[in-house]
Amino acid sequence: MKSKNMLLPILVSIALVLALIVTASAAGASSVPLSVTDDDSVSCSTMDGSGLASVMVLNTPEGEVTPMVAAGWNHIVGLRADGAVLAAGYNDLGQCAVRGWADIDKVAAGLWHTVGLKSDGTVVAVGYNSYGQCEVGGWTDIIQIAAGIGHTLGLKDDGAVVAMGNNLYGQCNVGNWTNINQVAAGYQHTVGLKSNGTVVAVGLDFYGQCNVGNWTNVNRVAAGIDHTVGVKSDGTMVAVGWNNLGQCNVGGWTDIIQVAADFAHTVGLKDDGTVVAVGYNGLGQCNVLGWRNIIQVAAGGEHTVGLKDDGTVVAVGRSLEGQCYVADWSNIIQVAAGTSHTVGLKSDGTMVAVGGEVELPEWNLYETPERRYTLTIFSTPGGSVTEPEEGTHTYDEGIERNLVAVPEEDYRFVCWAGDVGTIADVYTAQTTITMNDDYSITARFTAEVDSKTETVSDGTVNATDEANTEVEVTGNATVTVVQFADNPGGYSPTGFNSLDNYIDVYVPYVGEVTEVEIRLYYTDAELAAASIDEESLQLFWWDGAEWSECSNSGVNTTSTDGYSGYIWAIITEDTTPSLEDLQGTPFSGYGLPSGGCFIATAAYGTDTARQLDILREFRDEVLLPSSLGAEFVSLYYKTSPPIADFISQHEVLRTVVKVGFVDPIVKILNWSHGLWSARSS
């Protein structure tokens, strides 16, 4: 006995793991959620789910969720009425990284991780993940969640259970469970309440905490560190497991409607509003004998909290960090107890907190921010967006939302397109977007035809066999050249025709590179098929929103090795695109349509008439460099061919158009040539 008493200080110090036992399930033992009553008001609920008499109420409009709070080891989580989630406190493991969560119905706070249950039955989780307890992305049809120290539980709508995380003692072996109504997570054991009132448990059973096989008529379970508690339908209690401090001595309890279990003490709320407690009482955490009119209890690491029907709060036990300083609280409708802090949700949606190192922000869980924006997400064939899912989502202004695009086999992610101004990196499949407006974005994928990767030092990557491309590097770099099956941007720049050869030049590290020259080779057959004027060829790059001309680009029309020439672009740190942009950047060759002056050609009867030269020069030097002029040229190319064809078939009309329309324009352009050519240069 002496040796075990010597262990007591050590065991008590483990109370920080209470955050686990505040199991933070949707109907968790230590943080009982609110329930919607028949009149759409919200009150604390008893363990068996029955609504208490109207106490402190919070009216929740239709379409909104019930706000709630949860407490972890040293962090707090708040669920807002619009389904967004807030978190504050210790965040070294990312347990507070919940910005961007939406459509959440319930939250759970584990020791060092946070879990959210979405309205569609899927689950999200952040924080400590060494055991995989946050890998819940594939869960569906979940109706309750519970967060332990190293594992996470989900109860499905068909009564099955899923679990992820630490499984050293089999605490995640729940695959054969059926007809479960509630789950609870202990330190290294898992408890499930079945619809027929029996109970199942798996995991560490050193103290007998899983010996629940003979329990019947149970309507609520709770899991302490190493003990398990059940509330029976007649209000009596059962408990098994570690009992060195008497935490399982609940045999004489009656009329219990809610229970909370922590490290080494158990608390019960009776239907008359009084409270009973057993277990370790070295700091007074079981001194609840005089409590009256209590409607909810919560068990912290070494303290106990009670919510009264007038909205005030009482607390006993360890208060070295101030976790029991709740005497001045009022209008509280829910409480949650962490290891060394206490949190209260007020009827107006604001929150109060004491203890620990948690600095409570000015939250209001009932108010929706004045400015909210929609994010609509699409994808092209060949992949999908998994975070957030494709569709339309609503977020607060300033929220930074994760984006994750996943290509299918034999496809490649190209870029994000659309309203990409606040996307951190449009060429990265996993990136973020900051919500400052309504945005519509598309994840673009394309099939890979062929590719080549080579490391060079002041040399050339010859990918002509794979993509009709050479990449000459000044410096040291590993270069990947990929040929795409189709246009990764989805459309061509206004007024230009494409060679229909789309490549990706990827240089992941350019720290030892001063210059990269890209050479895209072409043939006469490709020029003819695309109806491109060879002299106008330039290399374009996809900047995430549109195809743009490379700032230092041109064409070499010298035939070589079976090619008619190549389009080149030199990329440095000062060009557009720059070396830093070569993180998976699509390129393609574009040029002006050959001929092009369709109506004038029809009027003169040939595309070699000298009068056409001035028209083409005006097009190239004045119209195309301006956005309005380029749109005009594009419209002209789309609409004029059938008109020109009609003109060419009617001699009289051809003469009228030539003399009355084209000739005057040519004369004006010749007369003003010095003015507009000087301005364009």
For the chain, give the mean pLDDT: 82
Query: Stretch 610-628: mean pLDDT, rounded?
Result: 76
Say what the pLDDT of residue 104 is: 92
Phi, psi of 668 (to 5 degrees): -65, -40
Residue 144: the pLDDT is 95
**23 and 142 belong to one structural domain:** yes
- Across the range 551-564, mean pLDDT stands at 90
pLDDT tens, residue by residue, 104-129: 999 999 889 999 999 999 999 999 99
Query: Rounded CA gap, 621 and 637, in Å?
Result: 17
Of the ranges 346-350, 473-477, 608-612, which one carries the lowest mean pLDDT score?
Answer: 608-612
Which residues, 6 or more positions from 526, have their beta carbon under 8 angstroms from its beta carbon? 499, 500, 501
pLDDT at 535: 80
239-258 residue pLDDT tens = 999 999 999 999 999 999 99
CATH number, position 488: 2.60.220
| Residue among 194, 193, 338, 342 nearest 263 (CA) | 338
From the list 572, 94, 651, the residue with the least C-alpha distance to 659 is: 651
Q: CA neighbours within 13 Å on the CB side: how many for 402?
A: 14
pLDDT reported for residue 48 = 29
In a domain? residue 364: no
362 found inside a domain: no
Asked if 111 and 148 count as a contact pair (C-beta separation under 8 A), the reply is yes
The range of the structural domain enclosing residue 405 comes to 372-444
pLDDT greater than 80 at residue 26: no
Confidence of residue 5 (pLDDT cuts 50, 70, 90): very low
pLDDT digits (tens, 9 = 90+) for 369-386: 667 788 999 998 889 999
**pLDDT score at 646:** 80
Same domain, 534 and 663: no
Measure the CA–CA gap between 473 and 503, rounded to whole angstroms.
17
Q: How much is the average pLDDT of 664-676?
A: 83
pLDDT of 669 above 90 = no
Residue-level pLDDT at 56? 26
Residue predicted with more confidence, 617 or 232: 232
Share of the chain above pLDDT 70, in %: 85
Highest mean pLDDT among 21-30, 83-92, 204-213, 536-545: 204-213
C-alpha to C-alpha distances, 105 to 123, 255, 371, nearest whole angstrom: 10, 30, 21
Residue 507, pLDDT > 80, answer yes
Q: Is the pLDDT of residue 681 over 60?
A: no
Answer yes or no: do 248 and 396 share one domain: no
pLDDT at 641: 64
Mean pLDDT of 355-363: 70
pLDDT the model gives residue 634: 62
Calculated CA dihedral for residues 552, 554, 556, 562, nearest 10 degrees:
100
State which of 574, 591, 608 marks the end of a domain: 591
Query: Is 71 inside any structural domain?
Result: yes
At residue 643, the pLDDT reads 80
Q: Are residues 104 and 252 in the same domain?
A: yes
Percentage of the residues of the chain whose pLDDT score is greater than 90:
43
Residue 181 sits in a domain whose CATH number is 2.130.10.30
Residues 427 and 470 in one domain: no
pLDDT at site 82: 85
pLDDT of residue 194 exceeding 90, the answer is yes
pLDDT at res. 608: 60
Write down which residue in 573, 591, 609 finishes a domain: 591
Q: Classify residue 650: in a domain, yes or no.
A: yes
Question: What's the pLDDT at 661?
Answer: 84
| Cα separations in angstroms, 81 against 20, 65, 335, 343 | 25, 5, 17, 18
Q: What is the pLDDT of residue 602?
A: 72
Residues 454, 440 share a domain = no
**Residue 439 sits in the same domain as residue 452:** no
Instruction: Tell me: do 556 and 471 sit in the same domain.
Output: yes
Asked if residue 361 is part of any domain, the answer here is no
Residue 360 has pLDDT above 80, yes or no: no
Residue-wise pLDDT for 64-106, tens only, equals 568 888 888 888 999 988 888 988 888 889 898 888 788 899 9
Whether 389 and 433 share a structural domain: yes
Q: Considering only 266-275, 405-414, 445-454, 568-577, which range has the smallest mean pLDDT?
A: 445-454
> In this structure, is residue 367 part of a structural domain?
no
Q: What angle do CA 135, 139, 141 make, to 5 degrees?
A: 155
Residue 468 lies in a domain: yes
530 and 437 together in one domain: no
Look up residue 17 and give its two tokens.
Answer: 């793991």
CB contact set of 57 (below 8 Å; sequence gap of 6+): 37, 41, 42, 43, 333, 347
Q: Give yes or no: residues 329 and 344 share one domain.
A: yes
Give the end of a domain, one of 538, 567, 591: 591
Task: Output 496 or 42, whichever has higher pLDDT.
Answer: 496
- When divided into structural domains, the chain yields a total of 4
State yes or no: pLDDT of 357 exceeds 80: no
Mean pLDDT, range 627-634, rounded to an integer: 71
CA 616 to chain centre: 50
* The pLDDT of residue 413: 86
Q: Which pLDDT tens digit goes with each residue over 414-446? A: 778 788 888 888 878 899 999 888 999 988 887
Give the Å distances, CA to CA, from 584 to 1, 247, 541, 578, 580: 68, 61, 11, 12, 10
Mean pLDDT of 262-266: 90
Integer Cα distance of 324 and 310 in angstroms: 18
How far apart CA 418 and CA 375 sit, in angstroms, is 11
Instruction: Output the pLDDT for position 355.
Output: 86
Neighbours of 283 (CB within 10 A): 20
- The answer on 516 and 615 residing in a single domain is no
Residue 655 in any domain: the answer is: yes
Is pLDDT above 70 for 259?
Answer: yes
Mean pLDDT within 315-323: 92
- Res. 62: pLDDT tops 50: no
Per-residue pLDDT tens digits for 149-176 = 899 999 999 999 999 999 999 999 999 9
Confidence of residue 671 (pLDDT cuts 50, 70, 90): confident
